[in-house]
Amino acid sequence: MLNPTLTITIFTILAASHANKTVDEQGFIGHLTTSFINIVGLLTKVSHKYPNPKGCLKEDNEFDFIIVGSGPSGSVLANRLSEEECWQILLLEAGNEACPITEVPLLCGTLEFSKYNWGYKSEKMDGFCTGCIDGRMQLPHGKALGGSSVINYMIYMRGNKLDYDRWEAMGNPGWSYKDIFPYFLTAEDANITGYKDAGYHKKGGYLGVSDVTYRSRAAYAYVEAAQEAGHRFVDYNGRGQVGVSYVQTTTKGGKRVSAESAFLRPIRNRTNLFIRTGSQVTKVLIEPGSNKAYGVEFVRNGKKYKAVARKEVIVSAGGFNSPQLLMLSGIGPKNHLQEVGIPVIKDLPVGETLYDHPVFAGIIFTVNESIVLDLKSTILDPDSYVEYLQRGSGPLTVIGGVEALTFINTNISDDSDPRLPDVELIFIGGSLSVDHGVILRRLLNIPRATYDVMWKPLEGKQTFQVFPMLFHPKSKGYMKLRSSNPFDPPKFYLNYFSDPEHIDIENMIAGIREIQRIVEFPAMQKFGATIVDTPIPGCEHYAFDSDAYWECGLRTLIGSLYHQVGTCKMGPREDKEAVVDSRLRVHGIKNLRVADTSIIPLPVTAHTVEPAYVVGERGADLIKQDWGVL
């Protein structure tokens, strides 16, 4: 456990070290955050270290199953497959075990600038992120034991019933809501003290799920105003999503619950489970002619190793790294693989589908009372740490400032169903000004000059923000390899707002209008909630608050929240976009599966960490069925 005095001392030193910085902080912030995490890691005793596998890694190491990646899906698979004592399981993770500071919910944003993030960015494209630094978007992707669940915002959201029914209707039997719902309950250990629908939550699973007991007065006011505006209060993981709710989170006792702490730590002493961190898989080994996967090559501490799988290789490296590994192994679009000099084993549309959820941070409000989260006071107040460490409560338990969610159906899209929200409104009990532009602005790659115009004048003032996020974009992106070098980051082309009918932009503007409508109701107006009308740099020539102005703003400052799907899309063989079948098997390759969010065939009404856990749960059952143990 962290010593409160030690933590306060470190934070105070770091706060002092970045005071009055005026230079661009890209490298500085990364160094600062990583140094802080390293200091805490060195000074904090970690009691859940994993035992080393028996013996040394050798060229002839054999296992029944090799799992690549320890994110939510991979950790679940490692847990469930190792239940079979006669099976030997190897779990390979490129990152390392995270230190305890990652468990503090309020600090999650800083982790994106640490060694626990791959540090990916999108490629510059016309039409979006035109006001971002270098025209590129931050694409956080976890590099740690536990994957992105170690650095994400911990929002627990299963998705809509229609998501899964449509998933099955695309030719994927076994993925309907009826089929998937039991897995939600199996995984969950719910401690929701607020409103919840009966029969939709369960205790006793591995995954801790809780509401956040600490809430700002602004959050209470916002939820009340949303209800005044006609949004019913809901359990968005229950009977229906459309409405308003306080956020449900993957936390327990006020601390982050990651895939590692939930699914690996409790079973770390199983003798048939071998976990190797710091091990980056560079290639899946496939027999020529038979197209049968039989193992992997990986690099650890600069040395190359090979591991053999007697039964299967399971790629669970996430929406970015799973397609990258398939392509490096010769599975992917023929023309692209030839372009980068990789021999083609199987011509499949790997990476050619990439859906994501755009989120907009350009709407700011002020209030005339002290009702919002005060990040500076929280970090510098010793009582915050005492309350957190002794009782698991207080402002440090707030997940990066996110406090409440509203799910709305704008009826803009032609396939809209009244039960299916198309926009989420994410209430933040503060704004990007609370840290004086040091960390939060960089999460969305906002330049210092833009921050200085929009947020700097608000420093020290009472502000909050509501971010609209698009659930079901029509626009589709893609990704490619940068080269045949497995250590080169891939290229990501997100194509935000490229749909020819402009439905995505219209949906987002409708979300902005609903935010404005909610804030006009008495619960918010009693605090004088007022929109900040400083124009977004680059959009000054449009009339503020016109649709044209907001379209400009959306194309100028837009971000992403870890929700990429479809890069190894699930579908039947006749689906020209499909990479895996409904049992997660790669088309045309034996003994190779992909199990993570990359297989999800359509954008879901969810923050994708919970669907990732369910892919692991369902995948484990499919594997057990196929090998005759279930």
Read off the pLDDT of residues 468-492 as tens digits, 9 standing for 90 and up. Answer: 999 999 999 999 999 999 999 999 9
> Distance between CA 102 and CA 116 in Å, rounded?
9
Among 102-111, 353-362, 497-506, the minimum mean pLDDT is found in 102-111
| pLDDT of 26 over the 80 cut | no
pLDDT over 90 percentage in the chain: 82
Which pair of structure tokens corresponds to residue 485?
A: 């070098």
| The pLDDT of residue 157 | 98
| The pLDDT of residue 381 | 79
Residue 97: which pLDDT band, with cuts at 50, 70 and 90?
very high
CA-to-CA dists, residue 324 to 279, 320, 321, 351, angstroms: 16, 6, 5, 8
| pLDDT of 78 over the 60 cut | yes
CB 98 within 8 A of CB 144: yes
Residue 149: which pLDDT band, with cuts at 50, 70 and 90?
very high
| The pLDDT of residue 365 | 98
> Distance between CA 53 and CA 60 in Å, rounded?
15
pLDDT digits (tens, 9 = 90+) for 55-68: 445 555 899 999 99
Which pair of structure tokens corresponds to residue 217?
A: 């007065």
DSSP 287: E
Could you tell me how far CA 124 lies from the centroid of its own chain?
Answer: 22
DSSP 262: I
| The pLDDT of residue 49 | 66
Q: Averaged over 346-350, what is the pLDDT?
A: 98
| pLDDT of 39 over the 60 cut | no
| The pLDDT of residue 382 | 81
Task: Please choose, from the candidates 336, 318, 319, the residue with its C-alpha nearest in 3D space to the C-alpha of residue 327.
Answer: 336
pTM of the model: 0.93
CB 260 within 8 A of CB 150: yes
| The pLDDT of residue 389 | 84
The matching CATH number, chosen from 3.30.410.40, 3.60.21.10, 3.40.50.300, 3.40.50.800, for 213-246+358-472+497-557 is 3.30.410.40
CB 70 within 8 A of CB 145: yes
| The pLDDT of residue 8 | 42
| pLDDT of 214 over the 80 cut | yes
In the three-class reduction of DSSP (H, G, I as helix; E, B as strand; rest coil), residue 209 is classed as: strand
| The pLDDT of residue 15 | 43
pLDDT digits (tens, 9 = 90+) for 222-276: 999 999 999 999 999 999 999 999 999 999 999 999 999 999 999 999 999 999 9
* E strands, 301-394, in order: 303-315, 331-332, 346-347, 358-359, 364-366
How do 478-480 and 491-493 pair as beta strands? antiparallel
Q: Averaged over 615-622, what is the pLDDT?
A: 98
| pLDDT of 417 over the 90 cut | no
Residue 386 assigned as binding residue: no
In the three-class reduction of DSSP (H, G, I as helix; E, B as strand; rest coil), residue 487 is classed as: coil
Q: Averaged over 500-528, what is the pLDDT?
A: 97
Give catalytic residue positions.
563, 607
Q: Averaged over 110-133, what is the pLDDT?
A: 95
DSSP β-bridge partners for residue 509: none
| The pLDDT of residue 380 | 74
Q: Averaged over 190-203, what is the pLDDT?
A: 94
DSSP β-bridge partners for residue 407: 243, 424
Neighbours of 391 (CB within 10 A): 12
- Domain boundaries in the chain? 1-45, 50-156+259-354+477-492+564-630, 213-246+358-472+497-557
Mean pLDDT of the chain: 91
| pLDDT of 625 over the 50 cut | yes
Go through the chain and tell me how many residues it has: 630
| pLDDT of 465 over the 80 cut | yes
Task: Please choose, from the candidates 593, 590, 591, the residue with its C-alpha nearest in 3D space to the C-alpha of residue 582.
Answer: 593
| pLDDT of 9 over the 50 cut | no
Q: Averaged over 322-334, what is the pLDDT?
A: 98
Q: Averaged over 86-112, what is the pLDDT?
A: 94
CB 508 within 8 A of CB 559: no
What b-and-e string marks burial along 407-439, b requiring 16 or more CB atoms within 10 Å of the CB? bbbbebbeebeeebbbbbbbbbbbbbbbbbbbb
| The pLDDT of residue 14 | 47
Does 50-156+259-354+477-492+564-630 carry CATH code 3.50.50.60? Answer: yes
| The pLDDT of residue 33 | 52
| The pLDDT of residue 154 | 97
Residue 1: which pLDDT band, with cuts at 50, 70 and 90?
very low
Neighbours of 57 (CB within 10 A): 17
| The pLDDT of residue 488 | 98
| pLDDT of 6 over the 50 cut | no
| The pLDDT of residue 37 | 54
Task: Please choose, from the candidates 316, 323, 325, the residue with its C-alpha nearest in 3D space to the C-alpha of residue 70.
Answer: 316
Among 7-11, 408-412, 535-539, the minimum mean pLDDT is found in 7-11
Residue 54: which pLDDT band, with cuts at 50, 70 and 90?
very low
Q: Averaged over 535-548, what is the pLDDT?
A: 98
